[in-house]
Structures are given as structure tokens and as C-alpha cells.
Amino acid sequence: SIWHPLEEITATEDGGCIWQAPIAEPREMLPWVRGWGADVEVLGPEKLRDELETETKRLMLRYNIASPQVGKPQQRLLRCWGKTGKHELDFHPALFHMLDVGCIALHLLRPPASPRWRMALARAFNTDEKILACWLPWFIALHDIGKISVPFQAQNASQKTRLEREGFAFGRWKPKDKIHHTDIGRLFLKHEYDEADLSPWPRRSWLHRAWLEMVGGHHGTFPGLRQEGDTISKSRKHLSSLQEPEEWVQLRQRADQLLRTVFLPAPPAQWPEPQNISTAIMALTGFTILCDWLGSDERYFTPHPDTDLLDYVAHSRQQARKAVADAGFFQLSQSTAPTIFAELFPDRTPPRPLQQAIDEIPDEILQQPCLAIIEAPTGEGKTEAALALAHRVAQHSGTDALYCALPTMATSNQMFVRVQTHMHQRLGLPTQAKLIHGQAFLMEDDLRPKPLGDAGKGSHPSLEWFGPKKRALLAPFGVGTVDQAELAALNVRHNALRLIGLAGKVVILDEVHAYDTYMTTIIEQMLRWLSALGSTVILLSATLPQSRRDALVKAYGIPFETHADPERDYPSLWVGSQNGSHHTLPEAFKPQLVFQLNHLDIPHEDAAEKARWLLNTIAEGGCACWITNTVDRAQKLYEAVTQADLTLTAYLLHARFPLEERQKLETAIIKLFGPEGARPKRSIVIGTQVLEQSLDLDFDVMVSDLAPIDLLLQRMGRVHRHKNFRPKAHKIPTLWVNSEPDPADGGRVLMGADRFYHEYILQKTWQAIVGKDEIWLPNHYRPLVEAVYTPGVPDTNDPLREAWDKLDNFEDSARGEAQLRLLPEPNPKRPFCQTNQITFLEDEDKAGWIVAQTRLGVESVTVLPLEREGDKARLYPLDEWVELTTAPTRQTALRLLRRSLRLSQWDVVAYFREQSSPTEALFQDSSLLKSIYPLWLENGVANIPAGEKTITLTLEPDLGLVIERT
């Protein structure tokens, strides 16, 4: 048996202790050994204590860091504070904090923690994951070595006074002398370490460089390389000018010697050398931030300034294990469920051809991180195919951990329920999934399947630690918006933490066709980083233009090899890794599905005529859906339909409902028109684009405003989607497209308010479908999409040239805006932090240029509709009241947020941005409500000025927020 002061000690029934060690580690990595083999020695508690203390002191003497006060509270090194407590003179020694963080790293790098951390870090460092725990915790423990310095110790006046009383000297330090402790830490690794010649270590190597950047960047931002020499040399000169007493240098060296005694009993025979310096820096920094945040949790690591050093080593180890376990990092993340699709999904038999094709992917390809592109019509089972593929990848990676990214919060909510059910019922994992988007904390508990939630309360950790959005991607299993993943590729604070959260996982990006040039540019950069960090990525789409597919494959770094015709062969499953590629063309589950394509030319603003047409269409029964391009159109059409037929049950869904009302509407619509829906005999659903993405709905007939061809095809997939009874008039699946032909040019359509989409794309879509009376799926998917999106410059005399020029300029600008915010790519030989990048703000309530935008669009604000009455306010139109003069409880704040809604109309946003922050305590004293603007209503109406006009905002229970300008 091997024993070590930091290892696990378990009490036995007879009062003894059993020490457990990973005996697979090389013997030379541990200088103290009591025997060798599989036998476990049992020692009495007193004997074990004595032997541990004797051995630790011997090692301390060996490294010349012992003193007559070794293990005593008076030891000067332990008087240097790292964290302060609740009381003025409480402090946690800097050495103890570094021990805490190193112990966290040790636990995360060993079972029962997920192998994902070891796999991702070993890949980044180009080393064997089995020996990471033998040296990496030492690197991570030294992250705060710069705190043992005059500038840091003097920045707290009370602690400085205490230290001066204890005999510490501060040279010529003055309050204006500010040097960040990360710069001093880099100085220590760059110069003081070399000068002291303390031990063999990776000098002047990529590994050393990664270590140096981690110490400088573990607070969320990296110092630029162009300033590196200046920053370190300035710190050195500054410390020299302060005449920092030599004792501080010695204390830093002593701290390192002790940390090496604990975490690096002997250096490796050969230090690893990363092949990609950018990846090594990012992985090490992200993992260190994770360890630092866990090791700073005061629930586990309270101030212990007077604790014996040996006692604290054991205490830190124990508390670190508890912190890691309670946070949820010991949750089971690998399933033993079968990988054959039919066995994994017994409820989906017989499998559809696309799903069966997952079983045929060669294992060799999946042994390396891979990119998969699944293109198929809606209803072919792409989601289940992706989950089956993710589980096959897990057999090689050692973990089923994944993140599913979707375009919207609504689609994320629906997928969250499906993934949680999949994990529980098919994978047999008790682990909880995390919902990750801006409003997840409002609805996650409500969406979690109740059997799992009830069973899980006492059986595994909650996901409380992963609650803050910066931590959320660290959860083993997550479902959320693509925006949360995009932030990993943007130059925002703590992007390293997000990237290490995705490293080694399977990342599923759904509805890839729905992302514009701006978002696609970010996603391409994200793919470069995910590939470098060993993440498998699965892209799902109804169909991708060939040019976009090629760009995504190129970004991941795998050549797209196929003998098929990429323009026509469809459905398609392509998987590629460094071990090769596999391309198959499975048959469609619904081959040769013929859709009737009809055209309407009702003027966009003639809601009454549209209503008459809809009601006539379902006069003898049927469920119809009309998707409009604007909220205003949807509201007017719904109002016209309900006024024309008071007996009809109609539904309206768009983004200008209060959050809880929108959720209720989504739930009601899914219950009626989803896979198990109890469909009414006659019904009409009217909505905007929120109806088209990932909501599993089925209608008898679909009407759509003219939209880009890929979105029309997506909307078409909501017609005759499931096996349901169809009225006689709707036996043939039909898509009606409404547009206004331009009377001056019959080959074009009037744009009206449809500039939400680019004119060139809409006009090309019109050209692709005009004159067609049928669309055959899946045969027509590729030709139609390529007809609209194939790159090419129109002739100068082409009527669409002006529209193309506008689109081209817009896309150039969008790419430029995205590239301005992008994290540099993971260059193997040049660190990504080599140049000074602008660090952008991360604010989900803004979308201006200074913000880390994940979507290119106008700025938005979140408002809370209220009616004031004295010191109280009513949650209009409900009979619920809140106090304005007192801070709300968390429960009250969450209740109010469920009544909020987000607005993006530029003139409305401008009005609210010009207002001063709310003065009421309800908003000022609440961290959840401080960025929310109250929308003060009178009888449900608010009038706000907009230049010479007045904007009227009316909150109607059945219409949502109506915005009119007069």
C-alpha cells in the first residue's frame, strides 16, 4: 500500500484507518512508500497520525522550509492572508487557500470525478491522463503565489496593521502603489523561480508559457503578449522601487516549496510538451478558475489562521472532497445502456432509416473527437439520432456529458424535458440536466420531469452551484440556447471557464440553418476551439447550403470527403474525425411526400380578408396555422379571426407576451397540436417565427408570409407531421404562401414590413417557388435551398443587383462585427492571448456594439408592466400587489420576473435607456430586478413620447403588448 498525507483516509469498524491510493501511478512519483501492491495496510489512528506528522516534517526539513515554529500558529508564512473573513481581523492564510485549490484539482483529476477533466487536460498538454494528478495540482495551487507580496498584503488596511504589529516590513509601499497579484505571480514564475533554481521544472517551454498565462489570466482576462515583458519588468522595477524586503521573496519561495512537498513529491522524469500552446493555456486557465471558485467557497473553507499546518492539510483535503461532491462533480456521467439504436430507444421501434444509420458508423471514426452533420426533413428523428450518436461517442470518451444548443429559449425548454427524460429512462442516469439560458432560473424546476425531480431530491446533488450562467456550462449535462455556447468563442471575461465547460463533451447544435452570418461566424470560431479541446460536435439541420456546410466542416478541421452529390443527395449523415470519415444517404422515413404549394396575394395589412380566408378554409373542419413575419400582423390577424367567429378556439403566440403567459400558451398549443395532442375539430393558431423552430406541432394546413426558403421548408414540416385524422378538404398537405406581387414588376414582390429578412433572399425565394404548384420532399430540399443561397454575383443590370449589394455589405459588416468580438483562434504555435483584444461586456439586456453580442440585432430592454397605487403596485392585469418601498424577497423577485417581457423596438428602447434607474426599493435593492425597467400603466395603457409622435403601449390579456405610434 502507498500512503501520503493528502490521500483518502477511511475509518474502519475497529477504530483503524484504511488509506487508499491509485496504485497504477509509477512508484518513482511518490518518494514515500510502505510496501507495494494491492494489499491495504490498517493502522491505528494514533500511529497513523504520528507517522504522517513525522514524514511531513522530514520532507519539510528536506526542502529547507522548516523552522522552530513548524506547525505552530506563529509561523510567519501562515500570517500572510489570502482571503478575509466576516470580522475585521479574520483571515484565511494565502498558503491555505492555495492548498484548498490544489486539493480541489486533485479530487477533480481522480475518480469518482468524471474522466472528462483528465481527458481534456491530457489532450491539451499532450500527456498521459493517468499522471496528471501527480503534477498538475501543484501548477494550479501556485495560481495565487503573488498574494504573498507587499502590494497584496498591504491593500487591506486592517490586515496590514496586524502584519506590522507582527513584525512584517512593507518597505516604501504607499496606497498609490498598485500591482496586481497576478503580475507578481508571473514575475515569480518568470524570474524569481529561475534565480532561486529551486527544482527541475519546465523552464522556457510551452508548458511554462501556459503556466505563466494561467497565473495572469485566472481572474477572467489575459494580459496581452505585447505587454508581457513590460508588465513583468514593470512589476519587477516597481517592487524594487518599493524596496520590498527580501523576506517576501523568501516567503514566496517557501510557500512554493511546501506546495511542492504536498503536490509534487518528485517531478516527472520528463515534463509534457503541448502541441498547441493556445489549447494548453485555455484548458489550464479554465480548469484553474473552476478549482479557484470551488476552493473559495466559504461554506467549506472558512478562515483558519491559527490551525496547525499538518492539521490543515488533512482538513483541506477533506473539505475539498466535500465541496467537489456537493457541487455535483461526482455525479455519474457515463451510462452502460446499449448503443444499438433499437435497444437504446425501445419506444421508437422500428427505427427510422436515419436512426438505423447511426449504428453503421465505424467505431474507428468515433474513437477520436468528431464532427457529425445530420441533414433530414422534420419528422425524421434527427434529435434521437443525435442522442444515439452521442451515446456511442461516450463509449470511447468515457462520459455521456453533453450540451444541446438551440436557437431560442422556447425550443430549449422543450428539448430540456426530452433530454432529461432520455437520461433517466434510457441512459439510466440519475444525474440532473441543467437548463441554461437567460431565464432558466425561472422555469427549470417547473420543466423538470416530476418523477425524476421527486426521486432525485435526496439521491444526488442539486445543481445549485451551477446556477450562475458563467458556471452553468460546467454541469455534466446541459440544454440551452446557442448563445450560451457562443460566449465561449467571444472575448468576454471568463471565456476560458465556458470553454473548459464544453471541452470533451458532445455538443449538439440544432437548427443550424436558422443562424445568420453574424452568428455563423461566431459558431465557426467556436468549432475551432471545440475541435482543439477534444469536443465532438453534432450539427442538425433540415438542410444546409453547401457553402455553409463546407465552412463549418473547415472550421472544425476535418476534410469533407464524399462521393455523393452534395447538392442533391438527401437526407444525409456525414461523420468525420482524424481517423477518417463516413457518409451515408439513408432513405427518408416519408419518401416522396408531395406538398401542394399555393399562393395568396392578400395585402399584408388586410387582416379582415385574411381572417375570412382562414375561416372559410376550415369551415368544414381542420386545424390551420398562419405564421406571420411581424408581431403586429399576428396580433391584428388574431383579433380579426376572433371577432369574426366567436365560437372558434384560436391561439396567438409571439414574443411580446409576459413570460409566464407565453409559457402557458406554448404548453396549451403543444398539448393540442403536439405528438399526443387532443386536436380540436376546428382551430386556428397564429404566431411569429417562434412556431417554426423545434416545436413538435402538427397542422392540417399551413399559411406563411413569404420567408426565406429554408424557413418555408421548416414551416412546411409542421403540416401532416403526425398520424392524425384529416378532414376531407385537407387530405393533401398544403402550404400557402402569402405575398404581394409588385404591380410594376411581376417577377418581384413588395417588401412592406418584411425587411426583417433580407430583400435579396426573399426575392430569390419568390423566384424559386413562383409557378410551382407542388414541392416533393425530400427531393426538392437541396435544389430549392441551393437556388436561393448558392454564392454568385448578379449582373449589373439584374433587377436584384441592388438588393444583392445591400446583402453583401450587410454580411461583410456582420462578419466584421463578429470578428471584432471573437476570441482569437487556437493557433498551435502562437498563444491566442498574444495581442491585446478588446474585452467586451456581457449584458443580456443590451445589444449595442460595446456588448458581447451573440446575435446581431437592435438593443433590447426588459420591462415589468405595473400599475402604481401609492406605495404599492399591481401586476397588471392580475389581482396581485407588491410593496414598492421595501426590498423584495427572492420568491417575490422571481414572481415579478415571470411577468416581465423584452422589447426591441428602437424608439421604445431609446425611451427607456434615457430614463434614470428606478428609485423604488423594489428595484434598487434587488439583484434580480436592478436591470429591469418598470412599465407604468394606467388601465393597462402607457403613453411615451418619441419625438413628435406618441407611442402607446397597451397590455391586452389575449393579444400581449400592443405597440401603436400616432
DSSP string, 94-130: HHHHHHHHHHHHHHHTSTTS-HHHHHHHHHHHTS-GG
Residue 918, CA distances (Å) to 104, 772, 778, 843 in order: 42, 56, 54, 18
Radius of gyration of the chain (CA): 31
d(CA 431, CA 444): 15
d(CA 374, CA 916): 49
The whole-number average pLDDT for the span 408-434 is 91
Side by side, the strands of the sheet bearing 949-956 are: 941-946, 949-956, 960-965
pLDDT tens by residue, 751-802? 766 667 889 999 999 999 998 999 998 889 889 998 999 888 999 999 899 9
pLDDT at 524: 97
Side by side, the strands of the sheet bearing 536-541 are: 434-436, 477-481, 402-406, 506-509, 536-541, 370-375, 572-577, 580-584
pLDDT at 847: 42
The whole-number average pLDDT for the span 651-677 is 91
The lowest-confidence range among 231-245, 383-397, 721-735, 885-899 is 231-245
Whether the pLDDT of residue 585 is over 70: the answer is yes
The whole-number average pLDDT for the span 468-494 is 92
Going by pLDDT thresholds of 50, 70 and 90, the confidence category of residue 22 is very low
The lowest-confidence range among 14-23, 340-349, 356-365, 645-654 is 14-23
Calculate the CA dihedral of residues 946, 950, 954, 960 and round it to 10 degrees.
-50
Whether the pLDDT of residue 37 is over 50: the answer is no
pLDDT at 573: 95
C-alpha cell of residue 322: 466535500
Q: What is the per-residue DSSP string for 741-774?
A: EETTEEEEE--TTGGGS-HHHHHHHHHHHTT--E
pLDDT at 416: 94
Going by pLDDT thresholds of 50, 70 and 90, the confidence category of residue 234 is low
d(CA 505, CA 538): 11
pLDDT at 614: 97
Going by pLDDT thresholds of 50, 70 and 90, the confidence category of residue 34 is very low
SS3 content of the chain, % helix, strand, coil (to 5): 45, 15, 40
Side by side, the strands of the sheet bearing 682-687 are: 649-653, 682-687, 622-627, 701-705, 734-738, 593-600, 774-777
Side by side, the strands of the sheet bearing 42-43 are: 8-11, 17-20, 42-43
Which of the pair, 855 or 151, is modelled with greater confidence?
151
Whether the pLDDT of residue 225 is over 60: the answer is no
Q: Which residue's entry shows cell 442539486?
A: 462
Cβ distance 103 to 6 under 8 Å? yes
Going by pLDDT thresholds of 50, 70 and 90, the confidence category of residue 409 is confident
3-state secondary structure of 9: strand
The whole-number average pLDDT for the span 710-739 is 91
C-alpha cell of residue 220: 477572467
Cross-strand bridge partners of residue 639: none
C-alpha cell of residue 748: 418581384
pLDDT at 424: 93
Q: C-alpha angle with apex 554: 552 to 558, nearest 5 degrees? A: 110
Which of the pair, 693 or 946, is modelled with greater confidence?
946
d(CA 633, CA 686): 10
Whether the pLDDT of residue 17 is over 50: the answer is no
d(CA 644, CA 654): 21
pLDDT at 175: 75
Whether the pLDDT of residue 846 is over 60: the answer is no
pLDDT at 709: 93
Residues 6+ apart with CB under 8 A from 915: 933
Which of the pair, 37 or 74, is modelled with greater confidence?
74
pLDDT at 694: 56
Cβ distance 5 to 56 under 8 Å? yes
**Greatest CA separation for the chain:** 98
Whether the pLDDT of residue 35 is over 60: the answer is no
Cβ distance 623 to 700 under 8 Å? yes
Going by pLDDT thresholds of 50, 70 and 90, the confidence category of residue 18 is very low
Residue 188, CA distances (Å) to 147, 193, 248, 621, 629 in order: 11, 6, 11, 78, 60
CA nearest 830: which of 226, 202, 117, 135?
A: 226
pLDDT at 764: 93
3-state secondary structure of 243: coil
Q: Which residue's entry shows cell 502562437?
A: 830
Q: Which amino acid is at 871?
A: D
Start-to-end CA span in the chain (Å): 83
Whether the pLDDT of residue 832 is over 70: the answer is yes
d(CA 167, CA 704): 79
Cβ distance 150 to 160 under 8 Å? no
3-state secondary structure of 213: helix
Whether the pLDDT of residue 889 is over 70: the answer is yes
3-state secondary structure of 833: helix
pLDDT at 564: 66
pLDDT at 895: 93
Q: Which residue's entry shows cell 519587477?
A: 236
Going by pLDDT thresholds of 50, 70 and 90, the confidence category of residue 456 is very low
The whole-number average pLDDT for the span 433-441 is 89
Cβ distance 841 to 490 under 8 Å? no
Percent of the chain with pLDDT over 70: 84
What is the overall mean pLDDT for the chain? 85
pLDDT at 62: 41
pLDDT at 966: 87
CA nearest 271: which of 138, 103, 100, 120?
A: 138
- Angle formed by the axes of helices 246-263 and 94-108, to 10°? 30
Residue 240 CB neighbours (<10 A): 10
Backbone angles phi, psi at 593, to 5 degrees: -80, 120
d(CA 504, CA 121): 9
Which of the pair, 203 or 134, is modelled with greater confidence?
134
For strands 649-653 and 734-738, give the pairing.
unpaired
The whole-number average pLDDT for the span 843-847 is 50
Whether the pLDDT of residue 41 is over 70: the answer is no
The whole-number average pLDDT for the span 204-218 is 89
Whether the pLDDT of residue 917 is over 50: the answer is yes
Q: For residues 364-393, b (16+ Cβ closer than 10 Å) or e, as one string?
A: ebbebbbbbbbbbbbbbbbbbbbbbbbbbb
Q: Which amino acid is at 410?
A: A
pLDDT tens by residue, 266-298? 788 889 999 999 999 999 999 999 999 999 999
Whether the pLDDT of residue 657 is over 90: the answer is yes
pTM of the model: 0.87
The whole-number average pLDDT for the span 123-133 is 93
Q: For residues 344-360, b (16+ Cβ closer than 10 Å) or e, as one string?
A: bbeeeeebbbbbbbbbe
Residue 702 CB neighbours (<10 A): 26
Whether the pLDDT of residue 850 is over 70: the answer is no
pLDDT at 354: 96
Going by pLDDT thresholds of 50, 70 and 90, the confidence category of residue 8 is very low
pLDDT at 568: 66
CA nearest 531: which of 552, 557, 511, 564?
A: 557
The whole-number average pLDDT for the span 171-175 is 79
Beta strands in 407-471 (DSSP E): 434-436
Backbone angles phi, psi at 306, to 5 degrees: -110, 20
Cβ distance 598 to 922 under 8 Å? no
Residue 88, CA distances (Å) to 42, 83, 472 in order: 44, 12, 33
Whether the pLDDT of residue 848 is over 60: the answer is no
pLDDT at 74: 43
Percent of the chain with pLDDT over 90: 56
The whole-number average pLDDT for the span 157-169 is 92
